[in-house]
Amino acid sequence: MQHTINVRVKNEFGVLSRVSGLFSARGYNIDSLCVAETLDPTVSQITLVTQGEDETIEQIVKQLYKLIDVIKVSDHTQASSFVGRELALFKVRTLPEARAEVMRIAEIFRGKIVDVTPDSYTVEVTGSPEKIRGLSDLLRPLGLEDVVRTGRVAVARGG
Amino acid sequence: MRLLGADIVVRALQEEGVELLFGHPGGAVLELYDALYRSRFRHVLARHEQGAVHMADGYARVTGGPGVALVTSGPGVTNALTGIATAFTDSIPLVVFTGQVITKAIGNDAFQEADNMGLTRPITKHNFMVKDVRDLARIIKEAFHIATTGRPGPVVVDLPKDITQMEAEYHYPSEVSLRQYNPRYEGHWGQIKKAMALILEARRPVVYFGGGVIISGAHEELLEFCEKLGVPATYTLMGIGGIPGNHPQSLGMLGMHGTYRANMAVDECDLLIAIGARFDDRVTSRVDQFSPHSRKIHVDIDPTSIRKSVDVDIPIVGDVRNVLQKFLKLLEGEPKLETYGDQIADWRTQIEAWEQGRPLSYAQTADGPILPQYVIDKVYQLTEGKAVVTTDVGQHQMWAAQYYHAQSPRHWVTSGGLGTMGFGFPSAVGAQFGRPKETVVCITSEGSLLMTVQELAVAVEHNLPIKVVNLNNGVLGMVRQWQQFFYERRYSEVDLHAQPDWVKYFEAFGALGYRATKPDEVETVLEKGLAATKPVIMDFVCAEEENCFPMVPSGGANRDMILEEPEEG
């Protein structure tokens, strides 16, 4: 099952390699990974998406806690327990006659055109992986040239 | 008071009560060695950095630690890695200071530069690079705290050369504040009571304990617990000395080369009480058939050890000693205790029958070659199991675990988890520094000994009367044994007959050497060697094709152990 794990760590050099090193050394997969500072600049948050049986996830959480620089680990499994988002940038090489269609589709997905050149549009969209995949499928026949995606960021619902 | 970085390191070591440093100098640590010289800090000059770390490790194992080592950058660090990894797998508290090139040169492929943080990250409990001399004292305080608390382990402090040459105001913190690091010592009462209920209703209970008993100093509590209940106890390689090896309730070691009774008891028990052990693969063998009929209690300070390989019914996270004290408290005035002996009487009879049927044995003949088991048996008898014994890795290590019945904790020094050949002699040097008045015996064999024997120079220099028992069979014995059993005697690269004359080798260093080639010489050589006041080797020319039994073949369950020589077909 897919798990989204938030790891609060000391914002220090080398922390990311401790976390990623733990995953590679013990043979755990990382589907995606995002790191950024939190409101407290001495603390960073790593959002990890990983797969595994319950016992594996239990080990991952315990192993993460064992790292000296890790402050808090929260594992989100139930889709209802957290809000998760990814961001994607789509570069579409457009023929003049397809431009309107690209804009229309982007709008439906609540995307934004963030860069325009004579022969291309760049569309920014946030959402679930399914939404991003959906947009990708629709843009492909219109000249989709490149997609760049972040990993998932997540926050627990409610207080 | 303003001090140079190098002097801050020395002052911090003094504040931590460190009396002895094992190390090897080099360019990146010149400032530190100058500070050591000026302060007359006691330092042992190892002849190789691996030796330095093994010495610090041996010292830590016999004293309770921590052991402290200092090595230079680049090759100094890469040489130290085996030592650090050995300590890491066995949870030994070390603080290792590593030299580093100057801050500005880091990342430029400077002379003797290596990525010390990257190299040591997976083999340390934690590591630090000091980037500002003002953080130095605090980091050293944290390093010692992390190394010695919770599940102990090695911590590396990487010191760029310019940091050791800069000045800062010296203030050694009295406490550490690591908001995120807080090991749990107190076992949970609710879990402990549940565990006690299982213990009191068990009919076939067994205690299986490991190195956690030694580390937490819980040997007295463990003995009281076992004796009050009359429950039999088996131990891992790391647990040796946790109860006296010849205690009537001791089953000996379990696992791949465990005793028949220990493996059968664990296989057939209805309750397994795991204390400070981690269900490692050399203990469990085939994990899905390990102790299949039992409920399991697991006490460990490291939550990741629990349910890592074997599912347990009652996990108890906490310090082994703390938890055993709570068990003992519950046993006070427990009415069921009176009939508990009867409740498990059949079980103890069964275990005794296993022992009578298949005791550990060897067949030393008067005119045959010397058997290594016989030599170890004699070492045990002559020292009464009271010596500090260090070992290397291989057959001799397993025989020592079987036949040398250590009487007390912190007297058994062996590389259990990593299985590092070359550990025995340097760790004996560290152990002799840690217990200067006690007899230190290094049980080894020529394959392991030759890997790190340059440290003999240190033993001679400091006049350490280490007794090396060399079980010299001219082969890499454990590899040969596996090739005999599983590769139809195709002995691939195990012949070690091209080796030094060990008596002359030791004499060339200024040490002593004796040799026995016949069984009737064994005792005389041991008596002479054990009485020596200088480093000494006792070179026992042993049977080449002797095998270590019992032996659980890989992929087998513990009950499938091979107990004797197969008939030749």
pLDDT digits (tens, 9 = 90+) for B130-151: 999 999 999 999 999 999 999 9
Q: Could you give the CA distance from residue B194 to residue A71 in angstroms, rounded to a whole number? A: 31
Residues B138 and B210 in one domain: no
Residues B336 and B298 in one domain: yes
What is the pLDDT confidence band of residue A76, given thresholds at 50, 70 and 90?
confident
* Opening angle at CA B227, ends B222 and B230, nearest 5: 120
Tokens in use for B37?
């010289």
How many structural domains comprise chain B?
3
Chain B residues touching A62 at Cβ < 8 A: 303-304
CB spacing of B308 vs A17 below 8 angstroms: no
What is the pLDDT confidence band of residue B106, given thresholds at 50, 70 and 90?
very high
B112 is catalytic: yes
pLDDT at A65: 96
Residue B139 lies in a domain: yes
Q: What one-letter code names the amino acid at A107? A: E
The SS3 of residue B537 is strand
The distance of B303 to chain A (nearest Cα, Å) reads: 7
**pLDDT for B97 beyond 60:** yes
Residues B401 and B340 in one domain: no
Give me the total of CB pairs closer than 8 Å, taking one residue from chain A and one from chain B. Answer: 35
Which candidate from A13, A18, A55 shows the least CB-CB separation from B307?
Answer: A55
Residue B80 lies in a domain: yes
What percent of chain B stands above pLDDT 90? 98
Q: Which of the 8 DSSP states describes residue B553?
A: P
User: Which fold, A2-77?
Assistant: Alpha-Beta Plaits (3.30.70)
Mean of pLDDT values over B169-183: 92
Tokens in use for B104?
């500005």
Q: Is A85 within 8 Å of A153 (Cβ atoms)?
A: yes
Reported as type and span, the H/E element at residue B262 is helix B260-268
Q: Could you give the CA distance from residue A36 to residue B447 in angstroms, rounded to a whole number? A: 51
The SS3 of residue B487 is coil
Mean of pLDDT values over B259-269: 98
CATH 3.30.70.260 fits A82-156, yes or no: no
Range of the domain at B525: 372-549
Residues B326 and B193 in one domain: yes
| Helices vs strands, H then E, count in chain A | 4, 9
Residues B400 and B503 in one domain: yes
Q: Kindly report the average pLDDT of chain A as a whole number.
A: 92
Residues B350 and B378 in one domain: no
Pick the last residue of a domain from B302, B332, B357.
Answer: B357
A2-77 and A82-156: same fold? yes
Residues B240 and B216 in one domain: yes
Residues B352 and B392 in one domain: no
- Helix%, strand%, coil% for chain B, nearest 5: 45, 15, 40
| Domain ranges across chain A | 2-77, 82-156
CB spacing of A66 vs B178 below 8 angstroms: no
**pLDDT for B286 beyond 80:** yes
Chain B residues touching A16 at Cβ < 8 A: none
Q: Which CATH number belongs to the domain containing residue B527 in this structure?
A: 3.40.50.970
What is the pLDDT confidence band of residue B568, given thresholds at 50, 70 and 90?
low
- Most confident of the ranges A22-26, A97-101, B417-421: B417-421
How many CB atoms sit inside 10 A of residue A2's CB? 13
**pLDDT for B43 beyond 60:** yes
Please identify among residues 41-60 of chain A the ones whose CB lies closer than 8 Å to any CB of chain B. 55, 58-59
Q: Could you give the CA distance from residue B60 to residue B431 in angstroms, rounded to a whole number? A: 8
Mean of pLDDT values over A47-56: 92
Q: Which CATH number belongs to the domain containing residue B323 in this structure?
A: 3.40.50.1220
Q: Which of the 8 DSSP states describes residue A156?
A: E
pLDDT at B318: 98
Query: Is there a cis peptide before residue B335, judged by omega within 30 degrees of 0?
Result: no
Q: Is B400 within 8 Å of B376 (Cβ atoms)?
A: yes
Q: What is the pLDDT of residues B366-391, one digit of tens each?
A: 999 999 999 999 999 999 999 999 99
Residues B257 and B141 in one domain: no
**A10 touches B: beta carbon within 8 Å:** yes
Residue B561 lies in a domain: no
B55 is catalytic: no
Task: Say how many Å lie between the first and final Cα of chain B, rounded.
Answer: 79
Residues B193 and B297 in one domain: yes
Q: What is the pLDDT of residues B242-256, one digit of tens each?
A: 999 999 999 999 999
Tokens in use for B18?
């460190």
Residue B364 lies in a domain: no
B395 is catalytic: no
Question: So what's the ipTM on this one?
Answer: 0.91
Reported as type and span, the H/E element at residue B87 is helix B75-89
pLDDT at A98: 86
